[in-house]
Each structure stands twice: as C-alpha cells, then as structure tokens.
Structure 1
Amino acid sequence: MKTKIISAVVVASSLAVSSAAFAGETISVVGSSSVSPLMEVLGETYAKSNDVTVEVQGPGSSAGIRVAHDGSADLGMSSRNLKTSEESPQIKEIVIARDGIAVVVNNNNPVTDLTKEQITEIYKGNVTNWNQVGGEDKPIVVATRDTASGTRGAFEDIMSLKKKINGIKVSAISQKAQVASGNGQLKTTVANNPFAIGYISLGSVDNTVKPLTIDGHKPSVAAIKAGDYSVQRPFIVVYKEGRPSKDALEFLTWIQSPTAQKIVSDKGFISVN
C-alpha cells in the first residue's frame, strides 16, 4: 500500500520531473500490514513540513524484518517481537507504539465474552460449535492470518498456539482455518459470516464487527495500559545500522516525539511516551 504522496511522485515522474527536485529524499518503509496505516499517516504528516517523500508498503512483518537485514529499504515494520533467528547486533529495534489484538465476531453473534483458554481451543480446532461456549448450535468458522503476518505471530505467542513437531516449533492453529492476507480481508470475512471468529488490530476495529471481552476485559487503550487486557503486542521499526539515510533517521526520531505520539494515540493505539 502506498500513500497519496507517492502517487504525486509517480505523476511527477511521468511528466519527466525528477523525484529529487519534486520532493527531495525518498524514505522507504516496508513491513507489517497492521503498522502500515499508522505509518502512512505519520509519513504524510511529516512530509508536509519536510522535503521528503515517505513510501510505505505493507507485505507483512516477516518482509519488514527481511528488508532491514538485506538493506533493501530504509526502515522495516514489525507487529511482533523478532525471533531469535532474526536478531543481529546490526539490527536495531525501536518500539513506536503498542497495539491490542481484538478477537472479533459477527455483529449478530450473541457471544460477548470468552476466556483465553476457550479462544485457544477454538483455534486449535478442539471447540467447533458455538454452543460449546455459550452461543447458538452453529459451527464455528475460524479465520486467521497468513504465516508471514506479525499479528498472527503475536497472537500465537500470546494464546499459546505453538507446538513442537520433531523438535521444531510450529503453529497449532487448525489447518481448517480460513486464511486472510490482511486485517481488512479478515475483518470482511467476519463481517460477512455470522458464525466466524477472527483477530485484528485494535486500531482496525469498527462497527462492522464485534470485539469480544476476554476474561471479562474489553479490548481498549485504558485496559491495555492498566495491564488488564493482555492480548497486546508492540509496533516496531527495525533497521540495519548504517543503512538508513540521515533523513530516514530524522523521520524515525520524529516518530518518537510528542507530536507524532499524539497521532499514535488519536489513531487508537498506545503511545510510548
């Protein structure tokens, strides 16, 4: 996904105007589809008062960490902590926000609260009917994210949805689960299916789906800050030491400023200062 700013650069390029003359330095940011919408707003805001263009693409957290390692982008985005295999002394991590993961159902589903254990059993495929968790006698349609998703990785870690096969840790989510490529697609799946359950970024929740309370706690910024709602994860910017331009590092410093962090809060995420 690219910002409107990028489109302006594309138009300028088509008119044979150099991007350097049009908007100065280009800062490339690649990674998590959950972080991307927030990063787009931050990039657009920053570009209004700085001679830069911020290009944002959201193929997933794994891709964001990979581009940080290979240096093919200035900054990577991840919505999960790095795996041990992804860590390196050269890779720097900056938490720019925190986000809750909301477990959502269709608005017509009478279920309003589940325990973490019930959700885990649903995703493992051990609980398959809504009447097993206080709902109607209807089959549960489980929706999940693809394996490159940082949201899925964080969700699996938090909900104990990992298992070992031949000594290798793999996902314990049922192979019968429907797989969505992003927050938007998963939300649409749940909104269109009265028996579906899914999980999305708290910042993506709207009136098309119903977020469940978990162990009696509603997903909210206040509940996350208080430590009551435990299904949460960091939004991280990663980069390779020496790779980002001076402009990219200045942009990253600005993201941590009170001005940028107010944008983080206004967008429904948890600021880091």
Structure 2
Amino acid sequence: MKIKKIVYIISSLIIILSILLWTIFSSNNYYMYGGSTSVNEFMQAVTNIWNKDKSHKKIIYNSMGSQYGVNSVENNTFNIGFISKEVENNTLSKGNEFVDKKYQDKTLIKDGEAIKVKDDSSFSFVEMLNNEKNRFLSLQFAIDKIAIIGNLPNWLNEKLPSINLKEHPNILKKIYEGSLTWEQLAKEEGIKDIPNSSTKIISIARESGSGTRTAFDDLADVKNSKDSSVATSNGMMVQNIKNTPNSIGYVSYGFIQNEIQKKEFTTFEINGVDIKNKDYSFSRPFNMILKAKKSSWNQAKNLVSFLFDHQEIYDKEGLVKDFVLNKIISKG
C-alpha cells in the first residue's frame, strides 16, 4: 500500500514538473494564451491561420475556463488570458487593478497598419502602459450570442419556439431556481392545448467560474441554480441536452451554429428574434486580459490587427467584431 502511494506521488510530481518545464521552454517559441472554453473554437480558427506565418511566434491556446485564464495572466503563465463575460473590477485577484478610468471604454479602429482609438487623437498608449506593476488591461474583441437550447416534451416540441423575456423577464430565473414546469412555461408563453400533467424542467448549468455561466446568470438574473445539473464545457452541455429528455441549458452560439440544422435539440428564439438575426439580444462579450506593459500590449495589438483583417473568422464562428479597450463594468 505504501509503495503504491509513493509511486502515485512520484508520478504526480513528474507530471507537474513536465508541465512546468514545457511551459517554460515553449514560451521561448510560442505565445501562451488560454482561458474560456467558449472562446476556444474562435481561437483554434485564429491559430490555424496565424501559425502558418513563420515571421512571428506561433500561438498555443489552452482551453481551461475564464477564471483560469485571468489567474494565469496574473501569475505570468499566459501572455494573454481570454474570458467570455463582462470585465468587472473584481475580475482580477485582490491587489491587482485595471488601468485608470481615463484609459477606459475606448473603441479601437485600424487606420492603415496602425491601431488607434476612435475619435481621440490625443489618447496615449505609452502613457497608459506607464503604470504600476500590478495594473492590467482588458480588450473586448467580439460579441457572442448565448443560445438557449432544450430537449422538450413531445407535446411541446413544435409549439414553443420563443421565450419572451420582455413580457416575462423572470422566466429563465424561475426555471433555474426550480419553480417552473414545462406546462407552466407553456402557459406563460401563451401555448394552447396544454396537457393536464406536471413535467419538471431539468435545468443544466455551466460550472462555477465559467464565463458562459456568469454571462447567463447576469442576463437572466439567476442568483441560485444549486439544483441544476452541471456541464463543464460547451460540448458536454450539448451532449447532456441531447441525452436528457425535458432538459434546458445554454451554450455559446459559435459552438453550435453548425449543429442547429441537424435539429437534435430545440434552439429558442428570444423575444421572437432568431439567434441568426443580428438583433438577437441575449449576448455577452469576449475579452482579452493582459498586463499593462509594452511587451504584452504589442502582442495584443498584433493580434487585434490580424483580427481586423480576418472578418471570415468572425463570420464562420457566428461572432460580431467589436474592439473596445478597457470596457470595465462597475456593479453594485
């Protein structure tokens, strides 16, 4: 028994050491990026094109979750972290802060080869980067739609295409806090010929720390989803919905846009607007997090310049291109 325990400890140490050494040595040849699993599909499409150019370092993207991305920038494991939710003052760990307000909420444009702040020729990137040691930047680069998907009861499958959050703003909150059945949901949405039954809605949420979960909870005003099942990735969420009758969940649109046509699950309209429509409002931002220093900003600037020139990646992944520097949301 003791021998097995020793072997296990040694094996674990070898794995940890291998990861550490790999990170140290690979950083000389690669940009180490990572974070949100929702951003993963987009970043894989980016790296497939970026890494073909031998004039710069290649990118490695590690899909480990939004909070992991932030923490890894703070401890210098990643050059840039990616999160799939709004940036708030408490996004960073205690003791770390974003740059001053005068550098915040600036829309970026590409003018020739230069990245500039729109309608503000006096903005100084050099001044912004001349900050204390623990200052950070955020950079919004896309808007992602969140799809509400479900595996509906047979009697409801063709009757409930939309969830009306304007008339029933608390409907998703009720579902995720466990106080609504499919019959009650159908009644609230004006469905006729509802059977005299009581079918529990099985809600599936993302794990704590997921950017998708944070964005969904904020948009739906969900405070407590402790009775929901948990999926730890977009892929697991989709699979769980497919395999669980009477379930409902949420997922990044970029992840499922090619699966919608298979009709293996229901994708809800929100307020009568199809998710493919540009006016679909149930959405959240994709953000980069980086240290406020010249080397980090130069990396981000080069990536932003690349993204400005590759609209086809946004189109393929179902995202809206939107570059805003230091859009920090203050809440409460």
Q: Same fold (TM over 0.5)?
A: yes
Q: Per-residue deviation at 1:192?
A: 0.9
1:153 to 198, 214, 220: 214
1:199 aligns with 2:250: yes
**Structure 1 outlier segments of 4+, above 4 Å:** 243-247
Q: Is the contact between residue 144 and residue 178 of structure 1 (CA under 8 Å) also seen in structure 2? A: yes
Unaligned 5+ segments in structure 2 are: 1-21, 100-134, 187-193, 324-332
Match of 1:179 in 2: 230
Residues of 2 paired with 1:152 and 1:266: CA distance? 23
Alignment CA distance shift 1:249-1:29 (3 Å): same
Q: Which moved more, 1:244-253 or 1:36-45?
A: 244-253
Match of 1:167 in 2: none
Q: Is the contact between residue 33 and residue 183 of structure 1 (CA under 8 Å) also seen in structure 2? A: yes
- CA-to-partner distance for each residue in 1:233-263, whole Å, 9 max, x for gaps? 111111112275587335423343222x321
Alignment CA distance shift 1:46-1:106 (3 Å): same
Match of 1:88 in 2: 98
Alignment CA distance shift 1:79-1:157 (3 Å): same
Residues of 2 paired with 1:211 and 1:182: CA distance? 18
1:36 aligns with 2:40: yes
Match of 2:176 in 1: 123
Q: Per-residue deviation at 1:28?
A: 0.7
RMSD: 2.6
Q: Per-residue deviation at 1:272?
A: 2.3
Residues of 1 paired with 2:138 and 2:281: CA distance? 22
Alignment CA distance shift 1:141-1:44 (3 Å): same
Alignment CA distance shift 1:255-1:211 (3 Å): farther
Alignment CA distance shift 1:76-1:193 (3 Å): same
Task: Write the letter of the residue equivalent to 1:266.
Answer: K
1:266 aligns with 2:316: yes
Counting only pairs closer than 5 Å after superposition, residues 221-236 of structure 1 correspond to structure 2 as 222-223=277-278, 226=279, 229-236=280-287
Residues of 2 paired with 1:241 and 1:250: CA distance? 12
Alignment CA distance shift 1:244-1:64 (3 Å): farther
Residues of 2 paired with 1:123 and 1:19: CA distance? 43
Task: Write the letter of the residue equivalent to 1:88.
Answer: F
1:133 aligns with 2:137: no
Aligned residue for 2:221, secondary structure, equals coil
Counting only pairs closer than 5 Å after superposition, residues 1-16 of structure 1 correspond to structure 2 as none
**Structure number, greater radius of gyration:** 2
Alignment CA distance shift 1:216-1:31 (3 Å): same
Q: Per-residue deviation at 1:25?
A: 2.9
Match of 1:210 in 2: 266
Q: Per-residue deviation at 1:176?
A: 1.1
Alignment CA distance shift 1:112-1:57 (3 Å): same
Alignment CA distance shift 1:113-1:53 (3 Å): same
1:53 aligns with 2:63: no
Q: Is the contact between residue 96 and residue 255 of structure 1 (CA under 8 Å) also seen in structure 2? A: no
1:69 aligns with 2:74: yes
Equivalent residues, number: 239
Residues of 2 paired with 1:147 and 1:244: CA distance? 32
Aligned residue for 2:69, secondary structure, equals helix
- CA-to-partner distance for each residue in 1:15-50, whole Å, 9 max, x for gaps? xxx969xxx730111110000111111012111113
Q: Is the contact between residue 25 and residue 247 of structure 1 (CA under 8 Å) also seen in structure 2? A: no
Q: Per-residue deviation at 1:125?
A: 1.2
Aligned residue for 2:38, secondary structure, equals coil
Q: Per-residue deviation at 1:102?
A: 0.5
Residues of 1 paired with 2:66 and 2:231: CA distance? 15
Residues of 2 paired with 1:99 and 1:269: CA distance? 5
Residues of 1 paired with 2:173 and 2:31: CA distance? 40
Q: Which moved more, 1:236-245 or 1:39-48?
A: 236-245
Could you tell me the TM-score, scaled by structure 1's length?
0.79
Residues of 1 paired with 2:294 and 2:236: CA distance? 33
Alignment CA distance shift 1:187-1:27 (3 Å): same
Residues of 1 paired with 2:47 and 2:59: CA distance? 5
- CA-to-partner distance for each residue in 1:116-137, whole Å, 9 max, x for gaps? 332221012121x211112764
Aligned residue for 2:51, secondary structure, equals helix
Could you tell me the TM-score, scaled by structure 2's length?
0.66
